[in-house]
Amino acid sequence: MVPLSWYLGLSAMLFTIGAVGVFIKRNAITIFLCIELMLNAVNLTLVSLSGFFGDVGGQLFVFIVMTVAAAEAAVGLAIIISIFRNRESLNVDEVDTLKL
Amino acid sequence: MESLRINYHAILPETITASVAVLIMMIDAMARKIERRVAGTVSLLGLIAAAVAVASLWGRPVETYFKGMIITDDFRLFFAMIFLIVTFLTVLISLRWVEDESLPTGEYFALLMFATTGMLFMSAANDLVMIFLGLEITSISTYVLCGYRRRDLRSNESAMKYFILGSFSTAFLLYGIAFVYGATFNPAANPVATTNLQLIRERIAAPGQLFSGPMLLAGAAMMIVGFGFKIASAPFHVWSPDVYEGAPTPVTAFLSTGSKAAAFSSFSRVFILTFAAMPFALSTGAAHTLQSAVTDTLVVMAILTMTIGNLVAIVQSNIKRMLAYSSIAHAGYALIGIVAGDWRAVAFYLLSYVLINIGAFGVIELIARRGDKRVEITDYAGIGFQSLGLSSALSLFLLSLAGIPLTGGFVAKLLVFKSAWAGGFHVLVVIAVINSAISWYYYLRVIVAMFFAEAATGFKAPAVARSMAAAIVLALLGTLYLGILPGRVLDTLESARDQMTQTRK
Amino acid sequence: MNFFHTEPLLAIIIMAPLIGAAILGLLGKRMGERLIGLIACSTVAMSAILSFYLFFKHHAELEQGQKFYDYLFTWISVGTFRADASLLLDSLSAIYILFITFVAFWIHVFATGYMRGDKGYWRFFAYMNLFMFSMLTLVLADNFLLMFVGWEGVGLCSYLLIGYYFTKDFANDAAKKAFIVNRIGDFGFALGVMLLFLKAGSIFYFDDPARGIHGAFNWAFSQVHDPLALSAIFAGGITTIAVLLFVGATGKSAQLPLYVWLPDAMAGPTPVSALIHAATMVTAGVYMVARASSIYSHAPTAMMIMAIIGAATALFAATIGLAQWDIKKVLAYSTISQLGYMFLACGVGAFGAGIFHVFTHAFFKALLFLGAGSVIIGMHHEQDMRRMGGLKKYMRITCLTMLAGWLAISGFPLLSGFFSKDEILFKTFTSVVLPAPWPRILWFIAAVTALLTAVYMTRLIVLTFWGDERFMDADSASSHSNEGHGHAGKPHESPMSMLVPLIVLGAGAILVGFVGVPEILSVGQTGNYFEHFIHQSVEGPTTQFDAADAGGDWYRQFIEEQRVEWILLIVSTAIALIGMGFGWVWFKRKPLWEPPSLLEHKYYVDEVYDAAVVQPIKQGSINVLWKFIDVRIIDGAVNGAGQLADLFGGTLRYLQSGLARSYVALVVLGALLIIGYFVIR
Amino acid sequence: MDEYLLTIIILLPLAGAIALLLIGRGDKSNENVLKWTALLFSLATFLVSLALPIGFSKGAGLQFETNVEWINAFNLGVRYHVAIDGLSLWLVILTTLLVPLALLSSWNSIHKRLREFLVAMLALETGMLGVFVAMDMFLFYLFWEVMLVPMYFLIGVWGGERRIYAAVKFVIYTVVGSLLMLAGIIALYYLHGSATLNFTFDIATITNDVRTHALVLDPETQSWLFWAFALAFLIKVPLFPFHTWLPDAHVEAPTAGSVLLAGVLLKMGTYGLMRFNLPIFPDAAHQWAVLISSLAVVGIIYGALVAMVQPDLKKLVAYSSVSHLGFVVLGIFSFTDQGMQGALYQMLNHGVSSGALFLIVGMIYDRRHTRLIAEFGGLANVMPVFSTFFMIVTLSSIALPLLNGFVGEFLILIGTFTSTLLPHAKLFASLAALGMILSAVYMLWMYQRVIFGEVRNTSNLNLADLNFREKLVLAPIAVLVLVMGVYPSLFLSRTDQTIQSIKARLGGQASLPASSGSITSQAGLPAPPGQP
Amino acid sequence: MWHEKVLFIIFAVIAIASALNILLQRSPLYSALSLIGTLLSLSALYLTVHAQFIAAVQIVVYAGAIMVLFIFVIMLLNVPKDQPQIEKQKGLRYLAIPFAGLMIAEMFYVLRPIRLTTLPIQPGNPEQAVGTTWSIGTALFTDYLLPFEVTSVLILMALVGAMVLARREGD
């Protein structure tokens, strides 16, 4: 069998890739995609734990996380649209009027 | 199998606020041009009703409902009251503003009510799932509120930064939850793994029952990141100055008080009442390591938070941004309460802090005028005697933030420091005290500008709407009440029961 | 026999002038000059009459060393420390109040004439009366703290009166200088009192069983003699107390090195100089030393210091007096010199002689000052002797009375100064307090001083009253040290209100010496009356240097015989006559002889003090303490802390780059650190 | 009635402040009404407060006590406990006396925001009184901090050119100290609570428990707590080198502010030392006495020397305060009756005389709008009455016997000199005594430059002498200066027992009251006190 | 059971490769498509732990609905290609490797000791098998009733929020 730690390890790698992506990508949408990737990494952890434990709780949690991700996607994209309307750009590095 | 324990009374406050949100949307949809008054009044009434519902839950036995998802302890209710007060005052200071800025009114109040619902769930949660959900409801609605002035670049930017960083940190929190869920696996128990806080507590407390100690620790660490972000503590505070500055002032007020208080409630619930439920001396193994690691980390974070908040606040010229840093510093003080493991002190701290801060932001909003134009401290030059009432109120709020006696800010600090001292965190108290002294400097700067500096040209005393006046007066009275006669509130808090006192069914 | 008595009238002696001062101070502005003069003189007269009354009433008791107390109230009482407002009359204070009130009364009378027409007439007499109150308090106090009240009080009045012409900067400077230099002395005095309290547990002189008071001198009697050694000064014992008290005396009585204020103090009106800076206040130091004789007599080192300083001051001031042109300055240095004599006397253990000289000096020096005042008035406020001369024909009475003073101070036989000065010279020579050869060295110095005294006093008289009339040609170059605006014109004799005091004091200067006629000269009486009387209150020296150590038996026999007294008497008479004769001849011939400039410039002491003390302190305060330590270092640290906070804040704010991505990176960093910490735990 | 007297005294000025806020809004011409209201309220406070010394019994205990539970939750044990003892009695009177005088002195010199000015003054009075009567650390701290606010506004709004810098400096300095004190208060509260199981902020209880050894603090803890408190107090005093806020604050504050600052606020520091540091941390007090005394002595000399060379009158007086307060601190740390009594007395003296000096400076400032000494000279010619009052106050300040300053200074010096509990006491006393010389130097020099000489500056030629109001302000001070100098027993006898009880805690033997030993009781030679 | 491991490795490699591709692509569209690749391979991995329902939902909801929304928005905004790619703080990208390395190291350090290698035996009765629609549905309406209901509030709120932000002015 594939050990649990493999799943968790994969999840950790995906989470890491997502986390790194958030701060090296400049396109707001890509950043958002990376965040989604992180959420999915967590989901993998939850699902695999749930599966190995034989406990349904983890999968229900994932179900809820997906809902949240959907909601977040809706609002996040709305924010991106709204900012694009004003700035005609998706580059987050240009959005730095508030600082120091 | 445990019964479902459906009890609508137990979620009545949340139900009311959510329903009011829906109701506002419906009114908004039906009447094309909704009067702000209607939406506002409905919100206020809803909040009062929710408060009544909270009050009606007070004193009932501490029990969990909905399969352990919800708990009705006084901890929850006290925090619920804080949230309701926050929203109530926010609604009051927003009433006129929404209209002046010609922003969608119904949605605004609806979002506020949704956010409140989320916060209420956060404090009511007895399960990590509920905490997560409540947190997300609060966060997502406040993302929207931050960007509410859609044409304003600063507002956009605020929303975007808050959104990116917020969801990023949520991912950490979630990952942490997943780890904790994994760590508490116990094949002999039912359920075998859990996100229920009480079960988690019991499994941590029972020696050798954990599936994986390191996972618990890593999970706790990531939850610290998640909550640390929400309460804006260093090094996860970086978002807050930008977001607070860019967000519309009433939203900033809400954000810096409500969502911070909500995060603190969950933080306390998880880290004080769950992870650190065992007396430190009695704990063993992973629980022991967890407690000491959490304490160490939070001590460092508290020190960093206070110090960075206060030091950087000194050099700010924008008053909203200055208050943002100030609220970072205050998160640091409140963290001391968490370090000391005294949620009552934290709760009182937050109660007084939210009153003061909303009051202060109310005045700032009034002076800022449409589109947040006058927010530089230099804009406050000489306005002291031109609008004495507002300036005096603001001064009092600022002094209270600085911790002057006779105001809530002082009693709150005293309580927190006292707990920390009793817990043996002497150095922390001294550092906090030095920080308080530093903070005086920048709070005074505003007073200096208002009263001592030469009048800047072009200031007209703003007309104060009745709702706004009510909000400021309420905040003022609250601040003074907590400072002069805190006895009742403190008695209430002292007798408040938390989940620890529950007898499990 | 009851050794202690109560005498309630004592309070009136001090209160009368105080009331006078209060009335004049509060209401005097609206009074006429006559009324003011009347009030001022009558209050002093009341004190004087009472003093005489009490003296004669209690003469017998006083002569037996009995004491009269007048307890008013307890002034300060804290813990074991107690100081009362209570007065003490014993033979010493009785003598003192006698001549003080007497001389003061006549000076007051003189001043009513001298100050005529002055704008601040009321103020002047208010100060004068206040001075009398202070001086009498000083003398009549029964404890050191109340003495200190008078001590500082006279200092204050001196300050006020020196600076009486307050629009004149030099007067103000002089006043301030007087006060401050006195304060330096008071510093020592206060420390001495404190040390005395520490050691003796009391600051009262004597016991008063009625109040349960234990006198400090009891402790002094119990003390073993300190050795005659410098180390005793710093040992913190009785010698230290004595030396500290003497520091106070050098301030008040203008001894080296604190004499510098007295010459400047001549900026005050002349009656002030006569009263305060000649007759009374400046002798307070001698009074105090005599009062504390119980202490001094157990502290040979202090006595020796006192004797040496007294002698040195006497000589030093006399040399300067030789070279001054200002008539009052000459008298001022003369006063310093005479005060040196008094301390010399005390230092060699002859407290009685010292007090006797105080007594006689009060008369003749007051007389000389008043005479000088009369001259100054007659010369229309001219004080420079270079512009005087030949006044005897214009101011006959003044001249005659001045001559009496001159003869007295120079030691002309059978005048008052003769007796007292001779007594001092004799006692110095035969002192057993000091080890040989000091008595003879000090005697030599004193003798030289006596010679100089005769010379410079003769110079003063000659320059003023004899010789050419130099005032006619020099009116335009009026001296800067004038008291008022000079008006050219012929000198004139002063009014009666000024002349009568002159006459009275002149008589005094001639006659008062007879109360202290030494035994060898006395006819039908045994012993020196004055000395006997005083010694009821003043303890004689208890140190005895075995003279055999120094000179062998022949020497002891020699000094114990009366013969030596006769020899010394003749020698001092000769010195006086030689000095007077030489002066007369020399200055008649060369009235405007230029003295050595070192002397004329008073050895540049003021300049040295200024450069060595005043300027360093002032400049140091400005440039080091204030502008450097206060502003730079302390405030710099304070502001620096603020700037540091600013700097930190200014640096930390760059965490806030404004870029969401960098925030994310920071969050990740934080998360990594925290997770890492948790994991490695 | 006695029970409520102190509360009434505290609240009367506050009531006045509230009344001022309510009356005659919007009417420009009612300035006189405002002034009179404020004055009457402060006078009423003064008159009521006179009942305190009259009804005061000379014991050491607390009197006019009110002790009501305030906040009891969380073992806080905060009580509204006000009372006076010998330590605070005269300071209360000093405060109530100086406020009406200060108000009267600025009768015509406040041109803007009169109402707010008067409100700040009265609020300040409440704060100051509260500090002196509070017997609960919480309450004490409360008044201590709250009082900052009106003072801050007084300096900041009605101050001079650099008022902002001065006001902020004043507050920050004070706050740094007082927040450390807060930490100390919390720690003391906690230590006391855990030792006695009686969690309370009550000063009297804690002091008593220290005395009865119910609360034993180990030396190190004592040291820390001692400094936590002492730092706050020493900054307030201000002791060298914490003094630099003072000249700035004084120079910039309006006259009334300076008067209260010098007259009352500085006393809070020394009062605090005597209320907290000595009785509660006696061992630490002994341990640190040498350091603090050294600083005090340095302050005495340093303050005097720097005062000497100041070109600005107010700055001069401010630095002189540093010097004078150095005496007070020295007296406190002599641990002798005389020293502590003297210190207490010197607080009053300094309150009266430096308050008066600031009044006087204010009076000429009102006329000439400058405080530079060089601008004046020869005022005796044009303002004789003024000069006379000035002279009296100057003399009081240089401690002339029979005036108030002398009694205090001498007691301090003799107390220090004879102290057996303070090492190097004689050296300290001797150096401190130099202050007597220096005070004469700088005060007389200043007086000479301002008052004496010819009128050189033509703008001084036509200065009006004091008017009736100004005489009314200075006359009571002149009388007080004399009374306090001539008959100090009136004051000292009421403070004696309290000082004795403080001293008793410091390990010195309580001495017999006021007697230097009698022949009847001590045959032969008296043993000098203080010798082992 | 080597074939299970092979299967795992294949999907894991796809997931990681697609994830890395998100970072490597310049265009958000390709990034989004890469993410879908990851999502799909995750879905396959879910199946290997008997989480059939979640695997289905992953495809239907996540890859289907949510990602479509993304792509829709990307298309809608249609960012011009020639837009200058401003990059402030270039240093951040150099942090990527150390941060990633550290994070993975920490995680592996935590996860290394976990020794659970076998899935619980799936009972024949789907009612008791974890991961089936049955068991999830049952739990959803019993244990997770409240969270489930609360998600409705969340979604409603998100709806309102998205609407208020994204609609054009004047609507």
Per the domain annotation, does A5 fall within a domain?
Answer: no
**pLDDT tens for residues C631-645?**
888 888 888 888 888
Name the 3-class secondary structure at D65. Answer: strand
What is the rounded CA–CA span in Å between residue C671 and residue C664?
10
Interface residues on B facing D, Cβ-Cβ cutoff 8 A: 344, 384-385, 388, 399, 402-406, 410-411, 414-415, 417-418, 421-422, 426, 429-430, 433-434, 436-437, 440-441, 444-445, 447-448, 451-453, 486-487, 490-491, 493-494
pLDDT, position E89: 77
Q: What is the pLDDT of residue B175?
A: 94
Q: How confident is the model at residue B100 (pLDDT cuts 50, 70, 90)?
A: confident
* A97 in B contact zone (CB under 8 Å): yes
| Calpha distance C271→C118 (Å, rounded) | 14
* Per-residue pLDDT, C18: 92
| Residue at A99 is within a domain | no
Q: Please give the Cα distance from C664 to D295 (Å, whole number).
A: 52
Q: State the DSSP H helix or E strand holding residue C77, giving kind and residue range, or none if neither.
A: strand C67-78
Mean pLDDT of E56-80: 87
State the pLDDT at residue B34. Answer: 57
The count of CB pairs under 8 A between chains A and E is 249
Contact E99 C659 (CB under 8 A): no
- Report the number of distinct structural domains present in chain A: 1
Where does the pLDDT of residue C489 fall: very low under 50, low under 70, confident under 90, or very high at 90 and above?
low
Q: Per-residue b/e over D345-378, b at no fewer than 16 CB within 10 Å? A: bbbbbbbbbbbbbbbbbbbbbebbeebebebbbb
D406 neighbourhood in chain C, CB within 8 Å: 152
Q: Output phi, psi for D312, to 5 deg.
A: -110, 130
Spatial CA neighbour of B21 closest among E150, A80, E140: E150
ipTM: 0.90
Range D111-116 average pLDDT: 84
For the ranges B467-481, C222-236, D25-39, E122-136, the maximum mean pLDDT occurs at: B467-481
Mean pLDDT (whole number) for D377-402: 89
Q: How far is CA E89 from CA A92, C109, E86, in A?
A: 12, 98, 10
> With pLDDT > 70 as the criterion, what percentage of chain D qualifies?
94
Whether residue D391 lies within 8 A of chain B, CB to CB, comes out as: no
Q: Which residues of C553-565 are buried (b: 16+ CB within 10 A; e: fewer)?
A: eeeeeebeeeeeb
Report yes or no on A16 lying in a domain. no
Q: Which residues of B touch C681 (CB under 8 A)?
A: 217, 289, 292-293
The pLDDT score that the predictor gives to residue C2 is: 59
Give residue C5's pLDDT.
83
According to the model, what pLDDT value does residue C134 have? 92
* Other beta carbons less than 10 A from residue D505's beta carbon: 18
Reported as a pLDDT band with limits 50, 70 and 90, residue B505 is very low
Distances from the Cα of A9 to the Cαs of A4, A50, C668, in angstroms?
Answer: 9, 15, 18
> Among residues B268, B269, B174, which one has the least CA distance to residue B223?
B174
Residue range C53-63, pLDDT digits in tens: 999 888 888 88
In SS3 terms, chain E reads as CHHHHHHHHHHHHHHHHHHHHHHHCCCHHHHHHHHHHHHHHHHHHHHHCCCHHHHHHHHHHHHHHHHHHHHHHHHHHCCCCCCCCCCCCCHHHHHHHHHHHHHHHHHHHHHCCCCCCCCCCCCCCCCCCCCCHHHHHHHHHCCCHHHHHHHHHHHHHHHHHHHHHHCCCCC
Residue of A nearest to E61 (CA): A66
Is A10 part of a structural domain of the chain? no
Residue B395 has what pLDDT? 93
Residue C552 has pLDDT above 70, yes or no: no
Per-residue confidence band for C563, with pLDDT thresholds at 50, 70 and 90: confident
Lowest mean pLDDT among B204-213, B391-400, C67-76, E56-65: B204-213
Evaluate if residue C487 carries a pLDDT over 60: no
- Count of C-E CB contacts under 8 Å: 26
What would the mean pLDDT of A75-80 be, rounded to a whole number?
92
Whether the predicted pLDDT of D88 surpasses 70? yes
User: What pLDDT, on a 0 to 100 scale, did the predictor assign at position B56?
Assistant: 92
Q: Which of D468, D446, D449, D469 is nearest to D460 (CA)?
A: D449
The residue type found at B370 is R
The answer to whether residue B194 scores a pLDDT higher than 70 is: yes
- Both tokens of residue D96? 């109530």
Tell me, what's the pLDDT at B121? 94
Block residue for tokens 């401190």 = D432
What pLDDT does residue C434 have? 79
D74/B344 CB distance under 8 A: yes
* Range B91-118 average pLDDT: 90
Find which of D148, D179, D225 to mutate to test the B interface (most B CBs within 10 Å of its CB).
D179
Stretch among C142-151, C528-537, D393-402 having the lowest mean pLDDT: C528-537
Mean pLDDT in residue range D402-410: 90
pLDDT at C481: 43
Alpha-carbon distance of B151 to C475, in angstroms, equals 96
CATH number for the domain that contains residue A35: 1.10.287.3510
C286 touches C249 (CB < 8 A): yes
Q: Point out the residue among C660, C671, C678 whose CB comes nearest to the CB of B220.
A: C678
- Give the one of A2, A72, A82 whose C-beta lies nearest to E165's C-beta: A82
Average pLDDT estimate for B315-344: 92
The closest of C213, C220, C212, C216 to C197, measured between CA atoms, is: C216
Alpha carbon B68 to chain centroid, angstroms: 24
Q: From the centroid of its chain, how far is CA E61?
A: 11
Amino acid (1-letter code) at residue D133: V
Residue A100: inside a domain: no
What are the φ and ψ backbone dihedral angles of C309, each rounded to 5 degrees? -65, -40
C-beta separation of B391 from B119 below 8 A: no
Chains touching A (3+ CB pairs < 8 Å) = B, C, E
pLDDT averaged over every residue in chain C: 84
A57, part of any domain:
yes
Q: Find all residues with CB under 8 Å of A29, minimum gap 6, and list them.
A: A77, A80, A90, E28, E31, E32, E70, E73, E74, E77
Considering only the C-alpha atoms of chain A, give the largest distance between any 2 of them, rounded to a whole number of Å: 53
pLDDT, tens digit, for every residue of D324-354? Answer: 999 999 999 998 888 999 999 999 999 999 9
User: Residue D82's pLDDT is what?
Assistant: 92
Amino acid D384: pLDDT: 87
pLDDT of residue D510 exceeding 70: no
In this prediction, residue C479 has a pLDDT band, given cuts at 50, 70 and 90, of very low
Of the pLDDT bands very low, low, confident and very high (cuts 50, 70, 90), residue E122 is confident
Residue D526 pLDDT > 60, yes or no? no
The per-residue pLDDT for range D218-258, each reduced to its tens digit, is 888 999 999 999 999 999 988 888 888 998 898 889 989 99
Find how far residue C147's CA is from the centre of its chain: 14
In this structure, chain C runs to a length of 681
- Inter-residue contact D522 to D512 (CB < 8 Å): no
Burial class (CB in 10 A: 0-12, 13-18, 19+), D197: exposed
What residues of A are in contact with residue B185 (Cβ under 8 Å)?
49, 53, 55
Specify the pLDDT at position C482: 46
> Is pLDDT at A43 greater than 90 in this prediction?
yes
Strands C4-6 and C67-78, by their bridges, are parallel
How high does pLDDT run on average in chain D?
Answer: 87
pLDDT of residue E167 exceeding 50, the answer is yes
By residue range, what is the domain housing residue A32?
26-87
Per-residue pLDDT, C424: 86
The most confident of the ranges B221-225, C5-9, C513-517 is: B221-225
Q: How far is CA C499 from CA C49, C104, C374, C398, C504, in A?
A: 22, 15, 8, 7, 9
pLDDT tens string D16-45: 999 988 886 666 667 888 888 899 999 999
In a domain, A56, yes or no: yes
Residues of E in contact with A91 (CB under 8 A): 83, 85-86
Would strands C67-78 and C81-89 be described as parallel, antiparallel, or unpaired? antiparallel
D308: nearest Cα among C661, B305, C625, B375: C625
Choose among A6, A64, A80: nearest Cβ to E73.
A80
Return all residues near C333 (Cβ < 8 A) that are at least 6 apart: C263, C317, C318, C320, C321, C324, C456
Please give the structure tokens belonging to residue C447: 């003798």
What is chain D's Cα-based Rg?
22
% of chain A with per-residue pLDDT over 70: 100
> Percentage of chain B surpassing pLDDT 90?
58
- pLDDT for residue D325: 92
Percent of chain D past pLDDT 90, that is, above it, reads: 40
Interface with C, mutate which of B315, B316, B438 (most C CBs under 10 A): B315
Q: Model confidence over B239-276: pLDDT tens digits?
A: 999 999 999 999 999 999 999 999 999 999 999 988 88
Structure tokens at D279: 């009785």
In a 10 Å sphere around its CB, with 0-12 CB exposed, 13-18 middle and 19+ buried, how is residue D22 labelled? exposed
Write out residues 37-56 of A within 8 Å (CB-CB) of B: 38-39, 41-42, 45-46, 49-50, 53-55
Burial class, B444, CB count within 10 angstroms (exposed 0-12 / middle 13-18 / buried 19+): buried
Res. C147: pLDDT tops 50:
yes
Which residue from D166, D212, D341, D356 is spatially nearest to D270, judged by alpha carbons? D341
What does the pLDDT read at residue E83?
Answer: 65
The model's confidence at residue D511, banded by pLDDT at 50, 70 and 90, is very low
pLDDT of residue B479 exceeding 70, the answer is yes
Per residue in B21-68, pLDDT (tens digit) is: 999 988 888 876 656 678 888 999 999 999 999 999 888 888 888 888
Q: Which pLDDT score is estimated for C376?
A: 85
Kindly state whether residue A37 falls inside one of the protein's structural domains.
yes
User: Before C257, cis peptide (omega within 30)?
Assistant: yes
